Amino acid sequence: MYAATHNTCYDAQSERSRRDYLFDAIKLAGDSYFLEKIIESFYKAKSFFLSNQLCDLLYCFQKNGYDKAGKAIRIKFEKCLIKILNSSTIRDQREILEFLAISLCDIYGFKEFFVIAEKMGNLMLKTEKVIFVDWLFNRACEKFGEKRIMPQLDLQAETSPGKKRFLEEILSNKAISEERKKNYKAEMEKITIESFIEAAKNRKPFGYNLRRLVKKVSLEERVKIADIISETDDYETKSAFMRIFYYTDYPYPLDRLFSIYNLENENLKKFTLEAMSRFKDKRLHDLAVFNLKNNLFMLGSLTLLQKNFRNDYDLIYSIQKHHNKKCPYDYHGLSMCIQDIFSKRKDPKAFPILLFDYNKNPCSYCRTQTVKIMRRNKCLPENIIEECLFDCSLDTRKVAKRYASMKPGK
């Protein structure tokens, strides 16, 4: 009941819906009792992700013959229209409305889409607030076919102001999307080493553009960035420029990075460790071990072991066991570092570490990866495979099903 009426995902934005997993369990426990409680929670739910989970469960109930579930979704949809119209804060309500609209179309079919389109269009006629409809339209096109939808929408828009407004919004958004696609190539060309230097000097965020930049950065340009780091006395500027060497190789010998690391600035040390992680050197192993034993820059120091691991199983296992809520790094970050260290190795000695991670990590995506890594390291026990066949993550189930059908050692 708790899992059904609370969103327990580690990251609800990226993890898949748990509706089928939860509904399978609900069917074993008693449908009607859960339905009443879920509807009650559904009407009260204000957050986007919890509302979606409850709506998903009601969809399952509806498909299993409980008409009350579909009616509950419609009631919340109507209430959501009113809330958006009368409230100054509509952030979650706007997303919830679109998800409810999609669910109603999934339940009631092709004709329902036009009923929903009219209601959404009427809402847009009454307010200047931005109302989301693209996800709804794209989902309907996937389900019913754009060639089937558009002629009907064009025809019905002639006599329905609401549908006409909905159609105008769809066409406007399509035009904006096409314009963005045309401008994308030009925007990518603007991502140059000069634009990065300008952003770093002015302390402006460069974000994911760093990954795009390194695809075309030359050795000469990497030298230029490394020289700026060495020449400037400003630690923030050094740190901003050092970030690029997490994605591409530092052009000078490792000794220079050690000199930068020894400067007394924590932020710079953190980014320098990431740049060092691309090197293989005994000194990096020793630095990683020293830091990890002294609780210094834990995640950055673990990245050094990706290429410099030397039978450090006991050390990593100890770090796992002693992690608690007071640690200055989260367990999920620790887990991702562990995955990077062992993903390309094949040693059953990793079993205690990977088993601990399997049980501790709250992220279902990471759990799938951990199971794969256990298999690669030849330490995936049969009982874990059996358990994973019933995992809340469909991805983990697929992996387990494949492993269960394979002969040992394959």
The reply to whether 341 falls in a domain is yes
Please, what are the averages of pLDDT over each run of 10 residues along the chain (410 residues)? 93 87 90 91 95 97 95 97 88 93 97 97 94 95 96 96 97 90 73 82 74 84 94 92 92 97 95 96 98 96 96 96 91 95 93 96 92 95 95 92 77
Q: Examine the domain organization and report whether 156 and 32 are in the same domain.
A: yes
The residue among 166, 188, 210 that closes a domain is 188
Same domain for 168 and 64? Answer: yes
Are 177 and 314 in a shared domain?
Answer: no
152 and 15 within one domain: yes
Q: Are residues 285 and 184 in the same domain?
A: no
**Count of the separate structural domains present in the chain:** 2
Q: What is the pLDDT of residue 213?
A: 80
Same domain, yes or no, for 160 and 307?
A: no
What is the structure's pLDDT at 191? 76
In a domain, 202, yes or no: no
Residue 230 domain-assigned? no
Regarding whether 178 and 34 lie in a shared domain, the answer is yes
Please say whether the beta carbons of 308 and 281 come within 8 A. yes
Select from 172, 188, 204 the last residue of a domain: 188
Per-residue three-class SS string for the chain? CHHHHCCCCCCCCCCCCCHHHHHHHHHHHCHHHHHHHHHHHHHHCCCHHHHHHHHHHHHHHHHCCCHHHHHHHHHHHHHHHHHHHHCCCCHHHHHHHHHHHHHHHHHHCHHHHHHHHHHHHHHHHHCCCCCCCHHHHHHHHHHHCHHHHHHHHHHHHCCCHHHHHHHHHHHHHHHHHHHHHHHHHHHHHHCCHHHHHHHHHCCCCCCCHHHHHHCCCCHHHHHHHHHHHHHCCCHHHHHHHHHHHHCCCCCCCHHHHHHHHCCCCHHHHHHHHHHHCCCCCHHHHHHHHHHHHCCCCHHHHHHHHHHHCCCCHHHHHHHHHCCCCCCCCCHHHHHHHHHHHHCCCCCHHHHHHHHHHHHHCCCHHHHHHHHHHHHHCCCCCHHHHHHHCCCCCHHHHHHHHHHHCCCCCC
* C-alpha to C-alpha distance for 17 and 364, rounded to whole angstroms: 11
Residue 211 lies in a domain: no
Computed over its alpha carbons, how large is the radius of gyration of the chain? 27
Instruction: Report if residue 91 sits inside a domain.
Output: yes
Q: Does 99 reside within a domain? A: yes
Per-residue model confidence (pLDDT) at position 407 = 59
Domain residue limits at 374: 280-410
Terminal alpha carbon distance of the chain: 40
Task: Establish if 250 belongs to a structural domain.
Answer: no
Q: What is the pLDDT of residue 409?
A: 52
Q: Indicate the residue among 127, 155, 188 that finishes a domain.
A: 188
Q: Is 222 part of any domain?
A: no
